[in-house]
């Protein structure tokens, strides 16, 4: 059974804190993605990676960075969390960039 | 500029009837389209896809129709079941866009028993 796991389901952080969101996939997929989901705004792509150590900005990369040191792991980093980064964060992986994506369960991040 | 639009935020249908979810796109380079379903507190799951070389793809109760000239696709669910109640996202991709998918805002479907 293919799986994408995210390190936390719920996370509460304070403004200014550095936040790490971890994502691991067991499907040997080349491509991994980070999205945020907000009411009425759908899924917005933050960053994606098509290979180890490779990353590309998505539609809303400001305030975020990513790390992909191993094929199976893709981390999203909030260098200094702000209240407008309170959101649901979804990680996904896929065999091809355009193809079906497999999503993790999401991390609901609240920044106070 | 939103390239993939789902203009209906919500849809309510009676169990057993047809559900039709719509999606419009503006980028004529999009050549592959996907639908995902999302339950609360879970990640989206892939439902069905269609390539631009086809105008229809069917999988059980789910059928996706593509009208390239109108830049419109629709997902039909027949018959609708209460378990189909979820948020449905339309996504589109193009080889020239590094292939990654662009998602719509989603439509919340409620199927009433």
Give per-residue pLDDT as tens, A30-64: 999 999 999 888 899 999 999 998 999 999 999 99
Among A44, A45, A103, the residue with its CB nearest the CB of B44 is A103
Give per-residue pLDDT as tens, A103-112: 999 999 999 9
Strands A87-94 and A31-38: antiparallel
Q: How confident is the model at residue B99 (pLDDT cuts 50, 70, 90)?
A: low
**Which of B86, B48, B52, B87 has its CA nearest to residue B72?**
B52
Contact A41 B105 (CB under 8 A): yes
Contact status of A33 with chain B (Cβ, < 8 Å)? yes
Residue found by looking up tokens 């691991």 in the block: A24
Q: How confident is the model at residue A99 (pLDDT cuts 50, 70, 90)?
A: confident
Give per-residue pLDDT as tens, B4-45: 999 999 999 999 999 999 999 999 989 999 999 999 889 999
Tell me the mean pLDDT in the region B57-62. 97
Among B41, B45, B98, the residue with its CB nearest the CB of A97 is B98
Whether B59 has a pLDDT exceeding 90, the answer reads yes
Between CA B74 and CA B83 the distance in angstroms is 20
Give per-residue pLDDT as tens, A59-87: 999 999 999 999 999 999 999 999 999 99
Contact B99 A98 (CB under 8 A): yes
A to B CB pairs, distance under 8 Å: 58
């Amino acid at each position: 059974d293919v799986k994408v796991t995210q390190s936390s389901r719920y996370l509460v952080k304070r403004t200014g804190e550095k936040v790490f969101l971890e994502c691991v996939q067991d499907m040997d997929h080349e491509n991994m993605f980070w999205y945020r989901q907000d009411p009425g705004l759908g899924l917005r792509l933050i960053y994606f990676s098509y290979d180890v150590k490779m990353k590309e900005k998505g539609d809303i990369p400001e305030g975020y960075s990513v790390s992909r040191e191993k094929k199976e792991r893709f981390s999203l980093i909030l260098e200094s969390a702000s209240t407008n980064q309170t959101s649901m964060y979804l990680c996904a992986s896929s065999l091809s960039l355009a193809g079906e994506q497999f999503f993790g369960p999401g991390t609901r991040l609240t920044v106070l | 500029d939103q390239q993939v639009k789902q203009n209906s935020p919500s849809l309510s249908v009676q169990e057993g009837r047809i559900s039709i979810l719509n999606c419009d796109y503006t980028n004529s380079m999009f050549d592959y389209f996907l639908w995902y379903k999302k339950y609360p507190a879970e990640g989206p799951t892939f439902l069905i896809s269609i390539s631009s070389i086809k105008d229809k793809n069917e999988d059980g109760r789910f059928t996706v129709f593509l009208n390239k000239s109108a830049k419109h696709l629709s997902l039909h669910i027949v018959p609708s079941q209460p378990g189909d109640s979820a948020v449905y996202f339309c996504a589109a991709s193009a080889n020239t866009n590094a292939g990654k998918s662009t998602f719509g805002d989603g439509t919340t479907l409620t199927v009433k028993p």
